[in-house]
């Protein structure tokens, strides 16, 4: 038998549970700084919402010979990012916080960026960059939380695993583009292109 008990005695647990009932699932054994956790989760929420918007924009603006299959992938990812946003928002409310859905400041709260390039290859690349940002962000949040909030940690680990699948999907699409003889990257940095060679504006791009 272990020398040190790993559980508080039952009377102590019962007494603590009756205190601060207004905090719901947040009990006194929650040792993390809740403000920090809520800030991190709201940044993750903003990141997911920006990812939804970016994938949706890419879905509707995708054009070119490979647009149908790539756009379908963008839409699938958009829907999965929305699921992530919903899970994070729900966890924020469980932690007695307020999920921040305000459009004002959304892009500055988000770790990933809202970029809509003018061609399909650059869209895929942009999404791969965003997924890699999400992967690093989730890993850092998970490391911060450690074992002190296992519910948030489990959720974030599950989301992280999906982001890694998303990154792999985008990498595969980039490679497929290379095999089909289409550029996996824009031929030149956009700033270096003459004005006449610039991609069509977003409004001019129609999905095929
Ligand atoms: Fe996500
Ligand atoms: Fe993702």
Q: What is the CATH number of the domain that holds 142?
A: 1.20.1260.10
Distance (angstroms) between ligand 1 centre and the Cα of 80 equals 6
Q: Closest ligand to 85 CA?
A: 1
User: Structural domain tally of the chain?
Assistant: 1
Give the span between the Cα atoms of 169 and 11, in whole angstroms.
52
Distance (angstroms) between ligand 2 centre and the Cα of 68 equals 20
Nearest to 167 by CA among 43, 40, 51: 51
Instruction: Supply the range of the domain harboring residue 37.
Output: 31-184
Using the structure block, give the residue that is written with the tokens 């999965």.
Answer: 80
Distance (angstroms) between ligand 1 centre and the Cα of 18 equals 36
How much is the average pLDDT of 185-198?
42
* Residue 18: inside a domain: no
- Where are the strands (E) in the chain, listed by range? none
Give the span between the Cα atoms of 20 and 139, in whole angstroms.
32
* Residue 149: inside a domain: yes
Q: The pTM is what?
A: 0.80
Model confidence over 19-35: pLDDT tens digits? 888 788 788 888 899 99
**Are residues 67 and 120 in contact, defined by beta-carbon separation less than 8 angstroms?**
yes
Model confidence over 103-152: pLDDT tens digits? 999 999 999 999 999 999 999 999 999 999 999 999 999 999 999 999 99
Distance (angstroms) between ligand 2 centre and the Cα of 169 equals 10
**Are residues 126 and 118 in contact, defined by beta-carbon separation less than 8 angstroms?**
no
């Amino acid at each position: 038998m272990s020398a040190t008990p790993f559980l508080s005695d039952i009377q102590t647990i019962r007494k603590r549970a009756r205190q601060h009932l207004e905090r719901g699932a947040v009990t006194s054994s929650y040792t993390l700084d809740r403000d920090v956790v809520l800030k991190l989760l709201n940044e993750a929420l903003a990141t997911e919402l920006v990812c939804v918007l970016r994938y949706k924009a890419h879905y509707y603006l995708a054009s070119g010979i490979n647009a149908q299959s790539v756009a379908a992938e963008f839409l699938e990812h958009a829907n999965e990012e929305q699921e992530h946003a919903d899970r994070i928002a729900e966890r924020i409310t469980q932690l007695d916080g307020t999920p921040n859905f305000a459009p004002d400041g959304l892009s500055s709260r988000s770790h990933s960026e809202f970029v809509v390039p003018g061609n399909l290859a650059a869209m895929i690349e942009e999404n791969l960059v965003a997924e890699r940002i999400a992967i690093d962000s989730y890993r850092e949040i998970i490391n911060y939380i450690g074992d002190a909030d296992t519910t948030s940690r489990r959720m974030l680990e599950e989301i992280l695993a999906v982001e890694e699948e998303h990154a792999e999907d985008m990498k595969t699409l980039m490679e497929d583009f290379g095999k089909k003889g289409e550029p996996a990257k824009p031929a030149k940095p956009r700033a270096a292109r003459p004005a006449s060679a610039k991609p069509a504006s977003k409004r001019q791009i129609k999905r095929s």
